[in-house]
Amino acid sequence: MNQESDRGLNKSSTKNFEAMRKFSETYAKRTGTFFCSDPSITSAVIEGLAKHKDDLGAPLCPCRYYEDKEAEVQNTYWNCPCVPMRERKECHCMLFLTADNPFAGDKQDLEIQDVVYE
Residues taking part in catalysis: 63
Phi and psi at residue 86, to the nearest 5°: -65, -35
Find the helix or strand (DSSP H, E) in which 4 lies. strand 4-5
Of 110, 20, 27, 102, the residue nearest 62 (C-alpha) = 20
Residue 48 three-state SS? helix
